Every structure is written in structure tokens, then in C-alpha cells.
Amino acid sequence: MRKSFVGFLVVSILFSVSIFAQTGKSDVILRMKSNLEFLSSDELEGRNASSRGERVAAQFIASEMKKYGVKPLGDDGTYFQNFDMSVRRFKQEPNLVLYDESGKEISKLTPGLDYLLDDSRIPDLKYLRKAAGLVFVGYGITAEEYGYDDYKNIDVNGKIVITLSGEPSGDDENYFKGAELTEYSSPRFKAQLAEKNGAVGLINIVNDGLIPYWNIYWSILMIGDFKWTKEEHSEAGGLPAVLGSLEGIKKIFDGEIISYDKILEMRNGTGKADPFLLKKKFMFDYGIVEGNESIRNVVGVIEGKDPQLKNEYVVLSAHYDHVYIYNSDVCNGADDNGSGVIAVLETADKIIKSGNNKRSIILLFVTAEEKGLLGSYYFTNNFPQIDNVVACINIDMCGRQDENSIEAIGADRVSKEFHELLEKANSETAKFDLDYSQSYTRSFELSDHYPFVRKNIPAFFLFDNMYEDLHAPKDEIQKINFEKIYKTVEMSTNLALKVSNLDHRMSFDMQSQ
């Protein structure tokens, strides 16, 4: 296996070198195909953060940047920015069991289908392997300033509580801040309050906003959840907590005095959420182990040509990690985000060949995006010249869906001038139908541009809106549209040069709505 893998690596790199000097459109597409064939091969085993396959991908990206003439910007003169993360993994597959009131086992809930575990809390052994009664407690909130208390008329001591996600909402901004969520809605707050009231476990009912991302979260949990090594919000010795899917919740409420349909009404805010005791019992049985692992961003720079402006930076970014293996099948992530990686590499090549960038251009290939943007947060928190970064263009999937359309999430929200420059760059090159419809949704916070936004740096991301094969083995190179990636490269190059050559720094004028 090792010999065949090394041979594959050598052949791939030699072939890439042989077509490097070719610059016509067909040659560029051929080079992109070669690079993506390597990055999305089974031999890289899905490029999960900290895996061997991801390390090989990082080396490959670094070798490509060196070949293009991109200078290293990592640790000690290398292309690598290394850092440690805490990783939590399950000791064995979780075992969650539902019992009837006589103590007879009804069913075992299926992980990934019926529930997701909250691995931010390492459960205290005293709460595990013991069947306990179930109590529905509405939202599971006590908020004195609003005169609200779900625990007022119910005893949950020694019980497992079931809560609705979120909190009471409405148009009155003086009551739970109206439509804006407060700290009371957080799963962490609900778990702490449940434990304070004597509960021995928590089941939080999923909300609609999370359902599209359910499989993503499950795949992350199964391969290990990466956290900061000194994470403030992780808790040891807490009560076990899970997020229940609609399928799992239906099993729990089957035959109870309050039906599953009634729970759905409450969940959608159309029914009164009165607490009540269920007839069934429930048992948690799982364990989590922790350890530290080293991961790395890959970083290079194309130096600017202006003596003053070269000390400012435009960032071109793409995450290169993916999600490993699912049910014995490799998730190769050709679109997510092999397409973004090869697009940024080709954009770098075009910028270097133009010789026309006044500001410096940083090429940032981040790790652990799939774990919560960890690589991009590490870069923005540790790059010494972060205050000199003027913009970030992030590419997160650009090789699928309609060839003539792409989403530019946040471009119309973070900076009026950035938006105008994007529109102009697009009209001069790709002529995409630019879609901004997700700029004011949760999606705006879900890619590697967002840590830059948090630093008041104009940033957005390009996204092809492919969901059907997301984090699945079917995200393969055979489905990639290289013409679309080429158009993305043309537009990104034009935009990066426009921003690089401005005689002023763009303003950050973030719009809330």
C-alpha cells in the first residue's frame, strides 16, 4: 500500500510539473484536472484534519506554490503554520436506550439518525448506564427578568429533561429581545440549568435551522471533534446531553399524553409548552476520550510591487481539509473543497504572471474548516500583520451546479466598494449571475472569510450551492465542471488585482440587514 501510494504521489507531481509552463485555457484546465485528481484521490483518504492524507495534501499544495514562485509565509521560513488542537472522540459507539414504564426495553436509538451527542460535555460516570424518567420542560429556561420559568411547577430531580431548541420569541424586543436570540437559548445554558435543578441528562429537540446540516455534524462527531487546546466552554463531569432528531423525538413521544404532533406545534411556536412527565425511561451509555493533535495551515505570499503598499495584504483563501471516511467509503471532497484549492492556486499563478499587484497577496489554505473554521481563526488571531490585511476573497466550492451562476455570500454586506469591484470584475470576465441571497442568513458565518469579518476586514466567499453530495462519497471529480472553475479563477484574479491596486484601503461598512 505504501509503495503504491508513493508511486502515485511521484507520478502526480511529475505530471503536474510537465504541464506547469503551459498557459492557454485548455492547458490551465488540464493542470487543474491533474491537481484535483490528486487532491481528491482515495489515497488521500478524505483529507480529514490531522490525518496522513491531509498532511500529504499540505505538502502537495506547498510544492505547487514553490513551483509558481510563491514565497513561504509559515513558521521558520516554511509554508506551514502549525498549531495544536484538542481532539475528542467516542470510546465506542454510543448506546442510548428507551424503556417503557415497566422497565422493558423498547428500542435503542440510532446515532446519526435519532440523535447527535453534545461532545463539548464529558459526562460524569454517575449519570451513565442508569435508566431515568423523562420530563418535558418546554424551553428549559428560567429567566427572572422576563418572569419566565419552565421549572416552576415540575420536579426534575433524578430525571432526564427534554427541551425545545431556542427560546420564547415574538415581536416585543423587551421580551427575550424579540427575534434576536439571548444566552438563554444556548444548549450550554440549558444543560447547566437542568443540572442545577437536579436533572441527570438533557435531550434538546432539533430546530429547523440545523436540519440541513445534520449529516455534516454527524460526520464531524464520528471522526473526532477538534477544539482549541484551552477551550473555555468545554466542561468535564457534566450531565450527558444529546440533540434529538425529529425521528428520535417521535419514538420518545409515541403513546405519551402529549403527542409528537403537539410537540411539533410547540416547536414551531404555535402551541403552549407546558411541562409534563413522560411514562418512558431513558439511559445514556457512552464515553469520550481527549488528546492533542498537530494540524497546519499552508501559507504563502506574492510580494507587492509598490514600496509602501506591499506592506498591506489581500488574502485569497480556501480550506483544504475534508471529512475522511463515511460507512467505509472515502469522502474525497472534489468540490468541497478541492475545487477551491485548485482555483486559488491558478489565481496565484495568473497574478504572478501579470506582475501587476501593488499590495502583497497572501495565499491561505486553511485546515479544520470542517471542524468550525479553526484554521482561519488561528490565522486571524496569530498573523502578526493582521491589521494590514485589507480584504479576503474566500473560495469554498466552485465546481458544481449551474455553470453561469455562483453565490457571493457577504459581498453585498461587508463593504459597498468591495461589492462594486466584484460586480465590475465579474462583468469583465466570467459574467456570472451573482447570487447574494444568503448574505443575511446563517450561511454568512459558515466559511473561512468569517474570522476576517470578525476582525472588521472586508471579506466574502464564493460558493456553488452544491448540497446533494455534500460530505458524501459521491462528491467526486467526475462531477466537476472545470469550465466553471476557470471562470471563477478569471473573476477572482481580476478582483484580487483591483483590490490590490487601489490607492486607498476599502472601508468596512458591515450591514446588519
Least confident of 77-81, 213-217, 279-283, 440-444: 213-217
> How much is the pLDDT for 67?
96
Residues linked to residue 362 through DSSP beta bridges, in sequence order: 301, 315
Pairing of strands 313-319, 241-244: unpaired
Check residue 94 and give its pLDDT.
79
- Residue 160 φ then ψ, to 5°: -100, 125
Side-chain half-sphere of 502: how many Cα atoms within 13 Å? 19
Q: At 18, is the pLDDT very low, low, confident or very high (cuts 50, 70, 90)?
A: very low
Q: What is the pLDDT of residues 91-120, one digit of tens each?
A: 667 789 999 999 999 999 988 889 888 766
Picking from 344, 335, 349, the residue whose alpha carbon sits closest to that of residue 449 is 344
C-alpha cell at 191: 444543560
Digit-coded pLDDT (tens) for 387-415: 999 999 999 999 999 999 999 999 999 99
The reported pLDDT for the residue numbered 185 is 86
**Residue 385 to residues 204, 230, 388, Cα–Cα distance (Å):** 42, 24, 5
Can you tell me whether residue 35 is helix, strand or coil?
helix
The C-alpha atoms of residue 187 and residue 202 are separated, in whole angstroms, by 9
Question: Which of the residue ranges 60-69, 90-99, 131-140 would you say has the lowest mean pLDDT?
Answer: 90-99
Band (135; pLDDT cuts 50, 70, 90): very high
Q: In Å, how far are 21, 54, 243, 285 from 217, measured between CA atoms?
A: 41, 20, 11, 20
Mean pLDDT of all residues in 422-439: 98
Among 145-149, 205-209, 261-265, 361-365, the range scoring the smallest mean pLDDT is 205-209
- Chain Cα centroid distance, residue 56: 22
Over its C-alpha atoms, the chain yields an Rg (Å, rounded) of: 25
Given a cut of 50, whether residue 495 has pLDDT beyond it is yes
Cell readout for 401 is 451546479
> What is the helix, strand, coil percentage profile of the chain, to 5?
35, 25, 40
240's grid cell: 450527558
Mean pLDDT, the chain, integer: 88
Cβ contacts of 186 within 8 Å, gap of 6 or more = none
User: What's residue 60's pLDDT?
Assistant: 98
What pTM, to 2 d.p., does this model score? 0.75
Grid coordinates in use for 437? 441571497
Residue 81 to residue 75: CA distance in whole angstroms: 5
Report how far residue 293's alpha carbon sits from residue 295's, in angstroms, rounded to the nearest whole number: 7
> C-alpha cell of 195?
443540572
Q: Which of 6-20, 99-113, 172-186, 342-356 has the lowest mean pLDDT?
A: 6-20
Distance CA 463, CA 399 (A): 9
pLDDT digits (tens, 9 = 90+) for 249-290: 999 999 999 888 988 888 766 656 789 999 999 999 877 777
pLDDT band, very low/low/confident/very high, at 4 (cuts 50, 70, 90): very low
Calpha distance 158→131 (Å, rounded) = 10
- Residue 76 and residue 51: Cα distance in Å, rounded? 23
Please, which pLDDT band fits residue 1 given cuts at 50, 70 and 90? very low
Strand-pair category, 105-109 with 288-302 = unpaired
Most confident of 7-21, 198-212, 284-298, 402-416: 402-416
Q: Is the per-residue pLDDT at 497 higher than 90?
A: yes
pLDDT at residue number 231: 45
Query: What's the pLDDT tens digit per position in 449-492?
Result: 999 999 999 999 999 999 889 888 999 999 999 999 999 999 99
What is the C-alpha to C-alpha distance for residues 323 and 367, in angstroms, rounded to an integer?
11
Beta bridge partners of 148: 143
Q: What are the strands, taking DSSP E only, across 152-250? A: 160-164, 201-205, 225-228, 235-238, 241-244
Rounded to an integer, the average pLDDT of 487-502 is 99
Highest mean pLDDT among 76-80, 84-88, 122-126, 283-287: 76-80
CA 187 to chain centre: 19
The DSSP annotation for 402-427 comes to -TTEEEEETHHHH-HHHHHHHHHHHH
Domains of the chain: 2-85+293-500 (3.40.630.10), 92-286 (3.50.30.30)
Amino acid identity of 378? Y
Q: Which residues pair with 108 in a beta bridge?
A: 97
Which triple of cell numbers denotes residue 402? 449551474
Burial bucket for residue 458 (CB in 10 Å: 0-12, 13-18, 19+): buried
